[in-house]
Structure 1
Amino acid sequence: MRPVQIVDLFAGPGGLDVAAEKLGIPTVGVEWDTSACETRRAAGLETVEGDVRDFGPKQFPRADVLAGGPPCQTFTVAGSGAGRRALDDVLSFVKRMVARENIREIKKDLSTMEDERTGLVLEPLRWALEAIDEQGIPYRAIVLEQVPAVLPVWEAYAEALKGEGYSVACGILRTEAYGVPQTRKRAVLIARFGNEKVSLPSPTHRTYRKGVPREEGDAGLAPWRTMADVLDRDSKFFVISNYGTGGDPKARGQRSSSEPSATVTGKISRNRVVSENGSEMPRFTFSEAGRLQTFPSDYPWSGRDISQQIGNAVPPRLGMHIISAALDWNTPSEETLDRIKKWGSTKAHRSSDHNESSTQLFYV
């Protein structure tokens, strides 16, 4: 079997790519945000700056794994809600694509949607079907992630991909259950071509429950990780969210350094950090915010809107678990997971664990 190579759609600053590279898998990311591309290039990640709608599998013939995290703003609770209102339309588009309706007509209809970003969630399916129809070589595996509200779309994808010969699993994963020092839910789809059963990665850590000590719970799982576990601050602190809770904008959420972080968003730089006696402390640096997402401490964040780049990214530690499950590899060991603590050169970490290829370009 030829070596694994990943094409990552909507690749952002490189969360999934960091995970793959540390597993020894070459990646190329397609991303249209200039600042995210600046970060990727500073990190040495193979990058194509552009709109995924302008590309397809034929430009990346060496890639045999498809990954993607389409923009989620229209599907989130905090967003305009256009994606939620258009969910039925999106599901109907999935059926039309699987039926091989004229793609130009589908694109024309997509252009009439309330928010054009909603239609971007369908791009990975277009790539998957084109790989089958135009290239004659299905992707070995497909990995998709989004906000929980997109799970019905992934479930529709699952039925579509099963009809194309894939085994599929999808569901909601909690990041702290995989050692990420942050509570965050993601809708994940994993597909593998062939009849072999595919499963979502098994949790390695306990689920966070407020007020419940992390030593309590399933004895077979490790305790959830805290902010203090990954940050170098000398004393205990509290993070006061920029967001209100319970519908009250004045009721700011609060987490202790002895707990996981709340979900890291593009507003993380606005969160206050205070000491035990209530005095103001320096707010999170980009490196610290990145570490709460499990990016390497020395990751070279670049460009503008870095807080937004960090908030939009896939936590690399979660990514390592998802990719390993998609390729039917063993659960990554702590030694392997520890590789993401420092970045350095991408090529230096393309080890011989699973991949013997050189760092070839993916596209023509």
Structure 2
Amino acid sequence: MSTQDEQVVEGFAGPGGWSQGLRLAGFRGRARGVELNAAACATARAAGHERVHGDVAAVDPRMFGPAEGVVQSPPCPGLSVAGSRKGLGDRAAIRDRMTAFAAGDTPPVVEWADPRSPLSAEPLRWVRALLPRWVALEQVRAALPLWEHAADLLTQLGYRVWCGVLAAEDYGVPQTRRRAVLMARRDGLPVDRPRVTFPVPVSMADALGWDGAVLVSNYGTGGDPRRRGRRPMTAPAFTVTGRCGRNKWEHPDGTRRALTLAEAGQLQGFPADYPWTGDVTARQQQIGDAVPPPLAAAVLAPLVQYQAHPVPVAA
């Protein structure tokens, strides 16, 4: 297991999804998160997680010193089906930027279709600077080709790598959520897809402790806004997004009420009393953007554990 003198650096750290996951995975060292959103920093700090308020792309990674692990979840609206998707046309330029960072070079200036696109290359800059023992990355499914390119580059830097798409409900998260994940380590130990821990998904009723309603989605089925998706509480929830407060509970008598933000947080795998901070819009966005802690823990657990005498790997 980890020791108290080890450090993990989290980029795009948000309100604490990865940080909670580290705790659940048994990490006992120091986790320092860099996050640009002030409300997300406040939430994380209120939950006991360390945050540096700053821009991941503007920070020199070397200021954090030696790092046992690097964790990053770059912003995904430019790739997500729930976002603009303008970033899809930037993927070739993102790969070029990753390649430059992995080589220790300065990438050329690019005119981006989505200004957030270059952030997806930041993990390579941080890994190249810190050469941590392990790496964990997460983004929406459309980012998988980017993580596959990152896997090739990390292999050249001495890492063993696995990347693929994970289903959050396979790891105890009470919602259906697919995310592209990369796991890498350079201590000579193998790395593989995290084993499924919940072959039977956790339902909304199990997570919230009550039953008897249907969750009506804010999004239209098949793109038709008049056909809202509907799920009984005996099933996992829809993917929780930054507009989660617009989902509705519908009771048998026809009455409706909005999904509360505490409930949305629980459907992401956070504790019911997690200290979400900021106005309603800010809290919804934090919840939707966060990595579900049980999923984070499943990814991190095999990485923070290691043998007593790791196999040395050349830099």
TM-score normalised per structure 1: 0.79
Q: Which residue matches 2:115?
A: 116
Q: Distance in 1 between matches of 2:181 and 2:306?
A: 17
Q: Report the CA distance between 1:194 and its aligned residue.
A: 3.6
Instruction: Give the distance between the partners of 1:8 and 1:98, measured in 2 at CA.
Output: 18
Number of matched pairs: 302
Which AA in structure 2 matches 1:286? L
Structure 1 partner of 2:219:
243
Report the residue type matching 1:115 in the other structure. Answer: D
- Which SS does the other structure have where 2:109 is aligned? helix
Query: Is 1:264 aligned to residue 252 of structure 2?
Result: no
Residues in 2 aligned to 1:194 and 1:19: alpha-carbon distance in whole angstroms: 21
Look up the match of 1:13.
15
Q: C-alpha distance in 2, partners of 1:329/1:184?
A: 29
Instruction: After TM superposition, list the pairs within 5 Å mapping 1:242-321 onto structure 2.
Output: 242-280=218-256, 282-304=257-279, 305-321=282-298
Distance change (3 Å), C-alpha of 1:13 and 1:243: same
Question: What stretches of structure 2 of length at least 5 have no aligned partner?
Answer: 309-315
Aligned equivalents of 1:50, 1:181: Cα separation in 2: 32
Give, in angstroms, the shift of residue 62 of structure 1: 4.2
Alignment of 1:328-339 (within 5 A): 328=305
Q: 2:88 aligns with which of 84, 87, 101?
A: 84
1:142, distance to aligned residue in structure 2 (A):
0.3
SS of residue matched to 2:10: strand
Runs of 5+ unmatched residues, structure 1: 132-137, 207-222, 331-353, 355-364
The answer as to whether partners of 1:21 and 1:27 remain within 8 angstroms in 2 is: no
Contact 1:200 1:325 in 2 (8 A): no
Distance 1:274 1:151, change over 3 A: same
The CA deviation string for residues 171-207 of structure 1, in whole angstroms up to 9 with x for no partner, is 000000111110000100000014322112111222x
Identify which of 122, 142, 147 aligns with 1:149: 142
Q: Aligned ranges for residues 205-244 of structure 1 at < 5 Å?
A: 205-206=198-199, 223-233=200-210, 235-244=211-220
Residue 64 of structure 1 and its aligned partner are, at CA, apart by 1.6
Structure 2 counterparts to residues 48-59 of structure 1, below 5 A: 48-59=52-63
Identity of aligned residues (%): 41
Q: CA RMSD in A?
A: 1.9
**1-side partners of 2:223 and 2:260: how far apart?**
29
Identify if the C-alpha distance between structure 1 residues 167 and 24 changes in structure 2 by more than 3 Å, giving closer, same or farther.
closer
Q: For residue 193 of structure 1, what is the aligned residue in structure 2?
A: 186
| Contact 1:192/1:327 (8 A) holds in 2 | no
The DSSP-based 3-state class of the residue aligned with 1:114 is coil
CA distance in 2, matches of 1:255, 1:267: 17
> Could you tell me how far apart the structure 1 residues matched to 2:302 and 2:165 are?
15
Q: TM-score w.r.t. structure 2 length?
A: 0.91
Name the CA distance, whole Å, in 1 between partners of 2:176 and 2:237. Answer: 6
Q: Do residues 324 (structure 1) and 296 (structure 2) align? A: no
Q: Supply the AA of the counterpart residue of 1:200.
A: R
User: Whole-Å Cα distance in 2 between the matches of residues 98 and 45 of structure 1?
Assistant: 29
Other structure's SS at 1:145 match: strand
Q: Give the deviation of 1:329 after TM superposition.
A: 6.2
1:141 is displaced (CA, Å) by 0.4
Aligned to 1:218: none
Q: Tell me how far apart the structure 2 counterparts of residues 99 and 143 of structure 1 sit (CA, whole Å).
A: 20
| Matches of 2:19 and 2:123, distance apart in 1 | 17
Residue 46 (structure 1) aligns with: 50
Change (3 A) 1:329 1:278: farther
SS in 2 for 1:73: coil
The letter of the residue matching 2:221 is T
> Aligned equivalents of 1:94 and 1:55: distance in 2?
17
Q: Match of 1:91, as an amino acid?
A: R
Q: Give the whole-Å Cα distance in 1 for the aligned partners of 2:44 and 2:213.
A: 32
Quick one: distance in 1 between partners of 2:47 and 2:304? 25
3-state SS of the aligned residue for 2:215?
strand
1:16-65 Cα distance to aligned partner (Å, 9 max, x none) = 10111342433111000011111112112111001012223311114321
Tell me how far 1:117 sits from its aligned partner: 0.5
After TM superposition, the structure 1 = structure 2 runs for residues 345-360 of structure 1, keeping only pairs within 5 Å, are none
